[in-house]
Amino acid sequence: MKLHHAFAAALLATTSAVSAQELKVGVQNMAPWLDPGRDFSNVGSQFYINTFEPLVGKDHTSAASVWQPGLATEWKIVSPTVMELKLRPGVTFQNGDPLTAEDVAFSLERIIKAAFPPYTVRKRDTLPNLAAIEIVDPQTIRVIATKPEPLFETLMNTQQTMIVSKRYITGLAGKPGVLADADYEAFALKPMGSGPYRVSQFIPNQKLVWERFDGYWGPKAPFARVTVTRIPELSGRITALKNGEVDLITNVPPDQLSVLEGDKAVKVEGMVTPLFHVVIFNTQNPKMADARLRRALSLAIDRKTLNEALWQGKAVVPTSHSYPQFGALYMPELNTFEYNPAEAKRLLKEAGYDGFPIRFDTAAAYYTNGLLAAQAIQEMWAAVGVKSDIKVDDKWTGGDADMMARNWSNPMYFPDPTGSFGIMWAPTGNSATEGRFKPTAEYTAVWERFRYSTDLAARKLAYSELMTMIRNDPPVLPLYQPYESFAMRANIAWKPLPGHIPYVLDFRAGRIAQVAR
Amino acid sequence: MSAFLLRRVLRLLVTLWVIVSVVFLTTRLTGNPIDYLMPEGMDAEGRAAMIAYWGLDGPIVDQYLLFWRGLVQGEFGLGLMERRPVLEIFSERMGRSVGLLSLALLATVCIGVPLGVLAAIWRERAVGGWLLLVAFLGYAIPNFVLAILLLLLFSFTLHWLPSAGAATPAHYVMPVATLSAYFIAALVRYTRNAMLDVLGQDYIRTAHAKGLAPSVVLIRHGLRNALIPVVTVLGLQVATLVSGAVVIETVFAWNGMGDLLVGATLRRDYPVLQFGVLIVAGAVVSVNMLVDLAYAAIDPRVRLA
């Protein structure tokens, strides 16, 4: 049996090595710049895995977090606030420079000691607890936290902590050797890392070309060249795939799958994405101050019907702000969110809702089915007697004091509730920063207990308390985890993996193959 | 002649000044790029720091003066989203868009005018009727519908032509055909009507009576006089052609200038938008001036005074 597997693997390896020269990909959006440290968008996150690497690696085929050696070969938690990592020897960047402890310290400190505003945001939402990086010797570094840190491995595996080159970045703009904000901006246009593909051409908002990095320390990239082109229109992407102009396309909504079925030359792979489309409420708008009103608005939304109508039932409606990727901290049993129109009506009456219209903001096309969902929600609110006005604008209104409700997404940035709920709803998270959510002293205390306990049971208990508070005084309702489909030529063996953050296009060795037919 | 040119150039510059100033002010009144370009979760301090970094923190009058000083010095600034020189951003995309527009214009003139003449000559034959009918269809069908129909036929089903990008000459076939269809149709109708007007004139009968060859009468006496209204229409259509290109570029994934301008408008990327408007407006205004000059070339009675 084992021999059989090995044979199959060897066969796959040979066929891909022989035939795989160029892969052509059509994406809906291309990033305007590429810097893993400051990027938080769903567009950029598609690309980093092929060019950059974090210190701690991960088995991306598994939803649960299985850590593996990355740019660090081993590590230990020296004390609750100190992690020590041994760097992999002999790693070089794509420009030939060796990857050193200095680079590691530089990469992490550009965020945790940030002066450039885009990094400051990441410091606050992703790495607020990290204080400093210590170089012990040329192969050993220490990450120092302020409070006890239960998530060292998780944090050293994020996209934001991928390692970049100090010498390369400081030499890009202005005086060589002197670091300036302009260096970071130049880097974002000429990204360079230590991963298996080097960026050979990057035209912002249009095109990205990777070439195999022959000096890569690990298994060599399966393709000599990968070209990623922006094809903004869905019909354009589907036509380009059917016409053989591209091998793989992204962002195929569920209602288009039937167009591709029945064509033997193409196939579809999909996955429920670790990301929630959500409705948020501005708790600080005086008109929205009454928690009963927000609870009623939440209870009035029939998410199961939304899923069936908009996603053909392929999306997943969550019971709480929780993903299977959280492992032991996955807690669907919390039942934080439910559909109960009768209770909604009762609460509205109790709150004395007088029929004023709720402003619901949505971008025109940013979230798949976002506008349709907003229109359906408007009807669902009308069914319990709530009036609403939909305001369509691509502008982000999360910090607008007059905003009352809007759609948003809560992606999983790393596999812990901190990396999804926390990024958005922690006392230092985006929502509190932008002023639409004001955590109480009690909430903050429970959050601290959840975030920095090193005891799993204590963390689970604290998270359930947080969810109860969110239920009783809701700032957010997760609608569903969307189902994302990718279509490809039939000879491409690729699929999205559950161990990645949303939308990642992983083209590294063992993750994609072109099968000779 | 030179006084005329001078006056026209002056008028052109004033027009450009007005257009660019209106764009400068309206974009700044309708939103701040920070709300469109920066990640969610920035606090007031971070916002202020980024706004200052982009040079958008001063009073609007100062920004306006700075903008013009830059223009005069040939400094067009950095795009806010891509953080690289506006000239560089445009230089990557302009070739494709100019290629698309020029070929569409060329196709319009080379196909539209002869067909219009033929439609006039064959006005009493069935084939003339068919020509008019086809022209009417080309006139009536929206360009994005035609684009999708062509895509479905030639890429999706037959696999004859590539659908996305502008890499090879084959990539130009469908976009040029789609963009020029409407204008060819319009030009067939205008040319036909203008020719019919002219061919009914006394001097055409005189020319025939002189014993001139029918082709000479048609071209030298007929078409030359008919071209004046045709050229006028063509000049007016150039602006429409540019806006049509925006749609076509999106459908065929050209990542061209139209696409860039739409994105810059939605995101309030001021430097990109201002420069783009300057270029497009400059092109349209210049074409209109060329149309005026063309009158003189076609009709010696028109004096450029």
Report pLDDT digits (tens) over B73-101.
888 888 988 888 999 999 989 889 999 99
pLDDT at position A139: 97
pLDDT at position A2: 40
Mean pLDDT of A478-484: 95
Residue at B39 is within a domain = yes
Query: What is the amino acid identity at position B109?
Result: V
pLDDT at position A368: 85
Residue at B219 is within a domain = yes
* Closest CA–CA distance from residue B42 to any residue of chain A (Å): 6
* Closest CA–CA distance from residue B287 to any residue of chain A (Å): 30
Helices (H), A257-357: 257-260, 291-299, 303-311, 341-351
Nearest CA in chain A to B253: A231
pLDDT tens, position by position, A51-95:
999 999 999 999 989 999 999 999 999 999 999 999 999 999 999
pLDDT at position A20: 63
pLDDT tens, position by position, B181-218:
999 999 998 899 888 888 888 888 888 888 888 888 88
- Contacts with A188 from chain B: Cβ below 8 Å: 83
pLDDT tens, position by position, B17-70:
998 899 888 888 877 888 777 767 777 777 888 888 888 888 888 888 988 888
pLDDT at position B290: 83
Nearest CA in chain B to A425: B41
Give the ipTM of the model, two decimals please.
0.82
Mean pLDDT of A456-481: 97
Mean pLDDT of A467-493: 96
Instruction: Select the residue from B27, B30, B40 to test the A interface by mutation, using most A Cβ atoms within 10 A.
Output: B40
- Contacts with B49 from chain A: Cβ below 8 Å: 117, 120
pLDDT at position A7: 40
Residue at B30 is within a domain = yes
Residues B80 and B103 in one domain: no
- Contacts with B263 from chain A: Cβ below 8 Å: 205
pLDDT at position B1: 62
Mean pLDDT of B175-181: 94
Q: Phi then psi for A446, rounded to 5 degrees? A: -65, -40
Q: Given an 8 Å threshold on Cβ–Cβ distance, is A243 in contact with B162?
A: yes
- Contacts with A124 from chain B: Cβ below 8 Å: 41, 43
Q: How many CB pairs under 8 A join A and B?
A: 121
pLDDT at position A49: 97
pLDDT at position B39: 67
Mean pLDDT of A356-383: 93
User: Across chain A, what does the average pLDDT equal?
Assistant: 92
Q: Given an 8 Å threshold on Cβ–Cβ distance, is B82 in contact with A120?
A: no
pLDDT-based confidence at A517, cuts 50/70/90?
low
- Low-confidence winner among A308-317, A449-458, B180-189, B277-286 (lowest mean pLDDT): B277-286
* Closest CA–CA distance from residue A94 to any residue of chain B (Å): 23
Q: Which 3 state secondary structure label does DSSP give A34?
A: coil
The alpha carbon dihedral of A418, A419, A424, A429 has a sign of positive
Residues B116 and B202 in one domain: yes
What six digits make up the tokens of A27? 């994406």
Q: Which domain holds residue B136?
A: 94-255
The pTM score is 0.87
Residues B114 and B212 in one domain: yes
Q: Given an 8 Å threshold on Cβ–Cβ distance, is B253 in contact with A231?
A: yes
Residues B111 and B235 in one domain: yes
Residue at B107 is within a domain = yes
Instruction: Select the residue from A25, A201, A245, A409 to test the B interface by mutation, using most B Cβ atoms within 10 A.
Output: A245
pLDDT-based confidence at A17, cuts 50/70/90?
very low
pLDDT-based confidence at A5, cuts 50/70/90?
very low
Residues B195 and B162 in one domain: yes
pLDDT at position A12: 44
What six digits make up the tokens of A150? 């239960």
- Low-confidence winner among A5-19, A305-319, A388-402 (lowest mean pLDDT): A5-19
Residue that is last in its domain, among B70, B88, B106: B88
| DSSP conformation letters of A225-284 | EEEEEE--SHHHHHHHHHTTS-SEEEEE-GGGHHHHTT-TTEEEEEEE-SEEEEEEE-TT
Residues B187 and B207 in one domain: yes
pLDDT-based confidence at A9, cuts 50/70/90?
very low
Q: Phi then psi for A108, rounded to 5 degrees? A: -75, -40
User: Across chain B, what does the average pLDDT equal?
Assistant: 86
CATH number at residue B206: 1.10.3720.10
Distance CA A186, CA A176 (A): 13
pLDDT-based confidence at A294, cuts 50/70/90?
very high
Residues B233 and B165 in one domain: yes
How many domains does chain B divide into?
A: 2
- Contacts with B163 from chain A: Cβ below 8 Å: 236, 239-240, 243, 245
Helix (H) or strand (E) holding A132: strand A130-137
Residue at B290 is within a domain = no
Q: Given an 8 Å threshold on Cβ–Cβ distance, is B255 in contact with A240?
A: no
What six digits make up the tokens of A251? 């962002």
Residues B115 and B81 in one domain: no
Name the residue among A130, A317, A253, A241 with its Cα closest to residue A489.
A241
Residues B112 and B79 in one domain: no
Is the model's pLDDT at A291 over the cut of 50? yes
Residue at B164 is within a domain = yes
Is the model's pLDDT at B267 over the cut of 60? yes
